[in-house]
Amino acid sequence: MNNNSQHEIRFHGRGGQGAVSAAALLSLAAFEDGFNAQAFPKFGSERRGAPVEAYVRISSSPIRSHNQIYNPDVVIIQDSTLVHSEPVLEGLKDDGLVILNSDHLAEQRNNYSSGALWITVNANQISEELLGRPLPNTVLLGALAASTGWVSLAALEKAISHHLVKKGETIVTANINALREGYRIAEQQEEAIS
Amino acid sequence: MDTRDQFRTNVLTSGHRACAGCGEAMAARMVTDLIGPDAIYINATGCLQVFTTHNQQSAWQAPWMHSVFANSAAVASGVEAALRARGRSTPVVVQAGDGGTFDIGLQCLSGMIERGHDVLFVCYDNEAYMNTGVQRSSSTPHAVRTTTSPPGRLSEGKHHLKKDVISIIAAHHMPYAATATVAYFPDLKAKVEKAMSLKGPRFLQVLSPCPLGWDHDAALTVQISRLAVETGLFPLIEMEYGDVTGVMRLARQRPIEDYLHLQGRFKHLFGHQNDNGNVEIRHLQALADARIQRYGLLDAETEWTTASAAQTERHGRGGYSISAVKQEVSS
Amino acid sequence: MKMLLEGSHAVAEAVRLCHPQVIAAYPITPQTHIIEHLAQMVANGELSSEFISAESEYAAASVVLGAVATGTRAFTASASQGLLLMTEVLFNIAGLRLPVVMVCANRAVGAPINIFCDHQDSMALRDAGWIQLYVSSNQEAVDSIIQAYRIAEACELPVMICMDGFFLTHAFEPVDIPEQTAVDTFLPPYQFSRMLDPKKPMTLGGGSEPDNYLEYRAALHNDMEKTLDRIQRVGSDFSQQFGRGYGGLVEGYRLEDAEIVFVGLGSLIGAVQDLIDQLREQGQLVGALRLRCFRPFPAAALVRSLSSAKRIIVMEKAFSAGAGGIVATELRAALYQAGLSIPVDNFIGGLGGRDITPSILEQIFHTSVSSDAAIDCRFINKDDMSHAEGNATTPGEGD
Amino acid sequence: MSNLSIEPGSTTAYHTGEWRQQRPVYRDKWPPCGQSCPASEDIQAYLALASNKEWEAAWRKITERNPLPGVTGRVCHHPCETSCNRTQLDTSINIHGVERFLGDLAHEKGWRHERFTEVSQPQKVAVVGAGPAGLSCAFQLARRGYPVTIFDAMSAPGGTLRSAIPDYRLPKSVLSGEIDAILALGIELRLDTRIGQELSEQSLQDDFDAVFLAIGALKPRSFSSIDKSDHSVMSGTDFLQKINRGKSLSLPKQVAVIGGGNTAIDVARCARRLGAQVTVVCSQDRPGSHHGHADAQMPALPQEAMHAEAEGVRILFRTGVRRLVRNGQHLSGVEISRVDQVHDRQGRFNPVLFEGTETFLSAGLVIFAIGQEVNKSGLENLMKDGELGVIIGGDAAGKPRFAATAIGSGYQSAMSIIAYLTGIPPVYENHQKTDVTYKDLHTQYYPLLPRQDELMTEDRLSDFTEIVKGFSQGETLCEASRCLSCGVCFDCDNCWHFCPDAAVIKKPNGYEIDYNYCKGCGICALECPSGHIDMQREVG
């Protein structure tokens, strides 16, 4: 992965899938790890099912820009159908990373060949098993942590505990389990690729 | 401070520039005298504000503020919230005209009531925009001549009906809403006192004749206010939580012409070649009849009739109220 | 304590520290999160305020008007149509000299309706008699709210903190939330001097005549101008106590020997500063000046900071239809009044939430330096944007 | 920034009174009750005091003019009630009921009259006649410090009040009580003293600086034109005197009373109480009847006539006596006829009888109650015109023969005597006041409340006990409170409440208009219930 002092992550999802929350959790975790961080949604009113974008900047120096992210280091795609309808890969750095929520692992990678590294996680299935409904965001954050190392699993767990505290211990635990599962799968895949 | 009168504070004192015989000045003086100086008064834009605070002089002898036309109920909400935050229980009173109540101020008033602010909102209803030179408001009664509802070849004055604002207000399911008018001081007094004894949003609609806009002799202000009641055009009612809980019954119903004749704003309805004017007079009579029927103003006579409400209290010299006498006699 | 918070949440935290006894608001994107957080704090018992859910922004402004006149500290927030709906009341608050503090989560104004950021809403109220501070980060928003109460209460004039909707209100950023004790020291309890009080009855908001109205309004202008000092002083007091400062009225960036200076307001300045760094690396003598205080207009401070510039580029997210960029126009007047004839290029962009990307900023720079005559007023239109995303050509002429 | 708030009440620096074109003025009017009262009582004032339960003050207000309220409350013909404006609203105030209550209460409580001065004036006044006029005059003089001696031919004071009014209308105890209270002011009373007999005219003139002659009209008008015999015939005054002296009379079964005045009715009712069947022959119409002239109505008080009829007295209206029917000396009855005209062209009482309407009325006794005349015998010198220091009053002055008229006459005479003695002319303040009629009132402000009348005893005929019961305190209060206070402020606060300009200032004793601010709208005048406020054009 690149060694720039600033990382930019772009989330693509649909309203209700938790892309904005995921961005917030990621920035919280990075902040917990001692970095400067910034998270914000692509602005608009929230409509369930509509395409959603969210952005995260992680940096060792203060972040001054409030621009949206046009050249991300990482793109996290929470819904594989978006690959067909939205310019999800636009501006992705040549050596970027795509983390895709899908059950067709190889196929996706082949159809959209680029210089980027693709990690595919069946986050819907995992979240369905662990959370009882398809909420892929924490699974994918685990995958991000595993494949980039920009944030620690511990910091993400803390962010989840903090952020979801109101939803009760069961939800927190399930999400942490989902996070860990995403982390485990991505770790495996990366090993397999490399 | 003006301390000429040892029997009251004169919350609204002399030197104000209302027209001679102003019903609103009279009503406001009555209401504020009954509430007293230990209250905070918020005033909407209008005649009352203009004639009481002219040229760096104020006729008010209580804390008083005017902000703008439409927002008095909201300002009062803020005042009341601030008092609550400071642990004070100073009463908060809004004074507004019919424009500031029926029309431009209705939204803020509705919000204030819905949020349950402990505020008495008093509307001095003179049935048009008098401050700007007599334009029709939604309080202007049917067939009235104003500068924006002028009678002409195709018109007999205002086409639309007077908005039934008391019902709108009472529909908020609020503690107290009542109508009153200057002619019946004992009734007005009872209503102000009742309103002041309650908590939460309260509303008083006080019919206040305007010699200028209604085009009547300055001395007739009280007389016309009385006739508005006695004809049935302006029922005096009390509503609590949306239900009518009190009406002042009429000792007798006066024909509508008795009321209309005294006022220039209805003059165009009389002495017509065609009978459009007569139609409108009959329409006004029908409106009065309908209100009498709706509120049962002529139903079985009770103690509380226009006659008894108009009765005078006797103080000092020969001072004995008739109710006290009755009590004495019966005991 | 340093935390990573959504901007709206950070604002709510700052408001909480100032102990407003009355809060009134009406929801409007992108301000809504601020009042949601405050409502939650009140519901949780973390903030002892009367929270008034007004039935309109007009009423919300009126509620805080009444509350401050009754001797409490109060807060409200709004944006866009809501702010404009408040207009009458906001003028009135200033005319009554009530120290109200509000946040404007800057948003475009319809039609067409648009919920995203620009400055057309607060700029439209520039003549209302409110002090307007435009902040560039959530940290500054937090700090400025605390300062705003002190300024407002010292000057008996209202203060509007303008923060970019979404860019700031919806962004999670690290923010240092000051300690309550520190804020209490900085901001002692306050009661309005002309308070509505039966013990000392006074008449507020009485009528005026041709005879005296002008003197009232002239006094408003003069008193507004006098607040420049106060804003500066409160800024330095704050910086002394909390170790953070924003220059008071204006904030310069690499101005030392700058010949070309970007001037802007709000959160855009971060991207501008990034560009300055980049251009400086290329050897360009550029700098940036952020206008923090727009009302009162800090003409002297601007002239002082810009007197040695050769060219000034003003980036604005608002305009006066039929007249052009507002800041540019006022800046030109200030420079002219000071006898300086520095060309001022005026670009209007970022309207309705459109991002002013780094590459657009760069193009603006090049367009500016390559133009002989000063650019009066140019809208950065869609063609410019598409060009910007593709390659670095100059912005189109179609404005 | 001090100008951002305005001082409270600062508009008072601006005098809106300059706008005014007319000004309201508080002005006491002269209510019709007081105007019509022969004794000039300030009725409105004492009703106001009574309505405030200030009983003693109310009694003192009456006794400023009338020291015999217990008497007049019973026997007065009360023109005040006839003129009362309230009659047009619902029914008149029962003024006499209040008056009687106050008189009786004073007696019960033992309230004493006060002298206005403790100084004793050097001039002495003689009052001849201890009837209502004489007592009234003596009372007024004594209160003002004049030594007064009353002379009366009778052996008890009271004049006709005692001799002519039966007990069932005026108990002797009431009369005596009030007379005693008058005499308690230090008046000397010399009874059984006839001028010209026990005391000479000359010594009266020598010993006193002024003389008031209130000798009444006691001589019964002669009925010799009808019948010369005096068998089974007597005058009403003689009859009443006998009864009032407590003489027991035995009457024939049927008695005819000739006359239509109060004496006739009193006689008839007394005779009724003595067990006779009584018929009154009255040449006038029934009071309140429609036909005929107003002064062709029976002069007796309507309610007295009603009481009499209720007690079984038969009254024949428009009926005159042609002759007495005798069988030798023995009286068998009266021949009566229908009356055409009561008065002749000169307005004198001179009934004309219709021929052919004669009827026979059976009677064992005929009592003539056809009026009295003044008996001047023994007083011929004093009663000469223009005699200095002598004033004639009461019935003797030819005034209408009512107790209240006599009392009023006594007051006026006392004032004249003082004016004569001091040389300072008397002041009559009321005469400068204007009238107040029903249309001057704003009756909307008065609740409708019916008049209360006194209750009657059930068994009236068995003896001479008083038949009309007095008011209770509550009834009195209620009647007093019904007073409209015509033309006189009763502190209702209307002007104070209604003034849109706070230009009416309330004071402990009424109101004051602050003309600095009054804009002259006229509302106070229009809304004043009692018509106490006048509007005047501003001049200059």
Checking if the pLDDT of C111 tops 80, the result is: yes
Chains B and D share 3 or more Cβ pairs within 8 Å = yes
Residue C37 lies in a domain: yes
Q: Which domain holds residue B173?
A: 23-330
The predicted model gives C347-353 an average pLDDT of: 95
- Domains of chain D, CATH where assigned: 12-28+489-537 (3.30.70.20), 32-113+431-481 (1.10.1060.10), 125-218+382-418 (3.50.50.60), 221-373 (3.50.50.60)
State whether C89 and C238 are in the same domain: yes
Note whether A touches D: 3 CB pairs or more under 8 A.
no
Res. A48: pLDDT tops 90: no
Residue B325 has its nearest CB partner, among D448, D477, D510, at: D477
Final residue of a domain: which of C213, C242, C271? C242
- CB contact (8 A) between residue D445 and residue B222: no
Would you state the pLDDT for residue C389?
40
pLDDT exceeds 80 at position B88: yes
How much is the average pLDDT of C260-287? 96
**Residues C225 and C274 placed together within one structural domain of the fold:** no
* Mean pLDDT taken over chain B: 91
- Sorted by sequence, the CB contacts under 8 Å of residue A130 that are 6+ apart come out as A174, A175, A177, A178, A181
CATH number, domain containing residue B148: 3.40.50.970
pLDDT band at D374; cut points 50, 70, 90: confident
DSSP character string of B254-298: PPHHHHHTT-GGGGGGSS-SSSHHHHHHHHHHHHHHHHHHHHTTT
Neighbour subunits, D (≥3 Cβ pairs < 8 A): B, C
Is C204 in contact with D5 (Cβ distance < 8 A)? yes
Most D-contacting residue of B2, B221, B312, B330 (CB-CB within 10 A), to test interface: B312
Of C182-186, D192-196, D219-223, the one with minimum mean pLDDT is D219-223
Determine what percent of chain C is predicted with pLDDT higher than 70.
Answer: 95
Query: DSSP states of D441-472 as a string?
Result: S-GGGS---------B-S--SSS----BPPPP
Q: Is residue B11 a part of any domain in this protein? A: no
Query: pLDDT tens for residues A78-129?
Result: 998 888 888 898 999 988 999 999 887 655 555 555 678 888 899 999 999 9
High-pLDDT (> 90) share of chain B, %: 82
Beta-carbon count within 10 A of B305 CB? 18
Q: What is the pLDDT of residues A5-22, one digit of tens each?
A: 799 999 999 988 888 899
Mean pLDDT for chain D? 90
Candidate from B1, B56, B185 with C-beta closest to D8: B1
Task: Say what the pLDDT of residue B320 is.
Answer: 41
pLDDT at residue A83, as a whole number:
86
Cα–Cα distances in angstroms (integers) from residue D401 to residues B134, D77, D80, D407, in the given order = 67, 10, 16, 11
Q: Is the pLDDT of residue D482 over 50?
A: yes
Mean pLDDT value of segment A164-176? 91
> Which range among C302-311, D323-332, D404-413 shows the weakest confidence by mean pLDDT?
D323-332
Arithmetic mean of pLDDT, C318-335:
97
Q: Say what the pLDDT of residue D303 is.
A: 83
**pLDDT class for D293, splitting at 50, 70, 90?**
low
* B4 is a domain residue: no
Q: State how far the Cα of D125 lies from the Cα of D391, in Å rounded to an integer.
A: 11
D294 touches chain C (CB under 8 A): no
- Write out the residue range of the structural domain in which residue A23 sits: 6-193
Question: What b/e sequence results for A170-180 when a residue is b if at least 16 CB atoms lie within 10 Å of its CB, and e otherwise?
Answer: ebbebbbbbbb
**Whether residues C303 and C373 fall in one domain:** yes
For C:203-242, CB contacts with D below 8 A are 203-204, 206, 212, 215-216, 219, 223
The answer to the question of residue A161 being in a domain is yes
In the stretch 129-158 of chain C, residues with CB closer than 8 A to chain D read 156
C-alpha distances in Å from residue C34, one per residue of A43, B96, B120, C105, C173:
16, 33, 31, 9, 15
Chains that touch C (3 or more CB pairs under 8 A): A, B, D
The chain C residue lying nearest A24, using CA atoms, is C172
Residue B213, in any domain of the structure = yes
Instruction: Decide if A134 is inside a domain.
Output: yes
C167 plus C313 within the same structural domain:
no
Lowest mean pLDDT among D161-170, D176-185, D226-235: D226-235
Query: Among D47, D446, D521, whose Cβ lies nearest the Cβ of B21?
Result: D521
- List the CATH number of the domain containing A44: 3.40.920.10
Higher-confidence residue: B185 or B300?
Answer: B185
DSSP C104-117: EEE---SSSP--S-
Using a CB-CB cut-off of 8 Å, the residues of chain C touching A4 are none
Please indicate if any CB of chain B lies within 8 Å of the CB of D329: no
Comparing A43-57, C50-64, C198-212, which segment has the lowest mean pLDDT? A43-57
pLDDT at C391 over 50: no
The residues, any chain, with a CB within 8 Å of residue B301's CB and separated by 6 or more, are B249, B251
Tell me, yes or no, whether A93 lies in a domain: yes
C50 touching A (Cβ < 8 Å) = no
Q: Which residue of B has its CA nearest to D535?
A: B219
pLDDT at D341 over 90: no
Question: What confidence category does residue D458 fall into, taking pLDDT thresholds of 50, 70 and 90?
Answer: confident
Q: Does a structural domain hold residue C161?
A: yes
pLDDT tier at B319, thresholds 50, 70, 90: very low
For residue B307, the model assigns a pLDDT of 63
Q: Which residues of C touch B77 (CB under 8 A)?
A: 24, 52, 54, 59, 62-63, 66
Please list every residue in chain C whose beta carbon sits closer than 8 Å to the beta carbon of residue B55: 207-209, 211-212
CB D274 within 8 A of CB D251: yes
pLDDT of D401: 79
For residue C256, give Cα distances in angstroms to B84, B92, C252, C308, C309: 54, 58, 9, 9, 10
Quick check: C392 pLDDT over 50? no
**pLDDT for D465:** 87
Q: How far is CA C285 from CA A41, C259, C268, C343, C369, in A?
A: 35, 6, 20, 16, 12
Spatial distance between the Cα atoms of A52 and A161, rounded to a whole number of angstroms: 24
Contact between chains at C65 and B63 (C-beta distance less than 8 A) = no
Average pLDDT over residues D297-326: 90
Assess whether C286 and C144 both reside in one domain: no
Does residue A123 belong to any structural domain of this protein? yes
Same domain, C231 and C83: yes
Q: Please answer yes or no on whether C207 and B42 come within 8 Å at the CB atom.
A: no
Name chain C contacts of D4, Cβ cutoff 8 Å: 96-97, 194, 204, 216
Higher pLDDT, D427 or D258: D258
Contacts of B64 in chain C (CB under 8 A): 196, 201-204
Claim to verify: residue C261 and residue C221 sit in the same structural domain: no
Q: Do residues D285 and D323 touch, judged by C-beta distance below 8 A?
A: no
Closest by CA position to B72, among listed C205, C59, C72: C59
- Domain annotation covers residue A1: no
Question: Are residues C54 and C112 both part of a single domain?
Answer: yes
The C-alpha of C274 sits at a distance from chain B's nearest C-alpha, in angstroms, of: 45
For residue C390, pLDDT beyond 80: no
Yes or no: say if D80 and D34 are a contact pair by the CB < 8 Å rule.
yes
List, for residues B209-268, the tens digit of each pLDDT value: 999 999 999 999 999 999 999 999 999 999 999 999 999 988 889 999 999 999 999 999
pTM, to two decimals: 0.88
Q: Does D387 have pLDDT greater than 70?
A: yes
Output the pLDDT for position D222.
Answer: 83
Q: Does the distance separating the beta carbons of B2 and D12 come in below 8 Å?
A: yes
- What local confidence, expressed as pLDDT, does residue D375 receive? 85
Q: Which residues of D touch C96 (CB under 8 A)?
A: 4
**pLDDT at B326 (0 to 100):** 53
Q: Is residue C172 one of the residues assigned to a domain?
A: yes
From C269, C274, C353, residue closest to A43, measured CB to CB: C353
Final residue of a structural domain among C242, C269, C302: C242
User: Within 13 A of B126's CA, how many CA atoms are on the CB side?
Assistant: 34
Residue A105 lies in a domain: yes
CA distance B172 to chain C (A): 14
Q: How far is C66 from chain B (nearest CA, A)?
A: 4
Domain-embedded: residue B77: yes
Supply the pLDDT for residue D356.
Answer: 85
User: Is B49 touching C (CB cutoff 8 A)?
Assistant: yes
CATH number of the domain encompassing residue C60: 3.40.50.970
pLDDT in tens, B290-312: 999 999 998 876 556 666 666 66
Q: Which residue segment(s) compose the domain that C329 sits in?
A: 250-390
Q: Given pLDDT bands bounded at 50, 70 and 90, which one contains residue D332?
A: very high
Give the mean model confidence (pLDDT) for residues A38-53: 82
Residues 327-366 of C with CB under 8 A from A: 353, 355-358
Task: Establish whether chain A is in contact with chain B, requiring a minimum of 3 CB pairs below 8 angstroms.
Answer: no
The tally of domains found in chain B comes to 1
| Structural domain contains residue B303 | yes
Contact across the interface for A64 and C269, Cβ inside 8 Å? yes
CB contact under 8 A, B320 and D477: yes
Q: Where are the alpha helices (DSSP H) in chain B?
A: 23-35, 47-52, 72-85, 106-114, 165-170, 185-197, 221-230, 256-260, 276-295, 306-309, 322-330
B107 located within any domain: yes
- What number is the average pLDDT over the span B134-150? 96
Tally of domains within chain A: 1
Report the pLDDT averaged over residues C221-238.
97
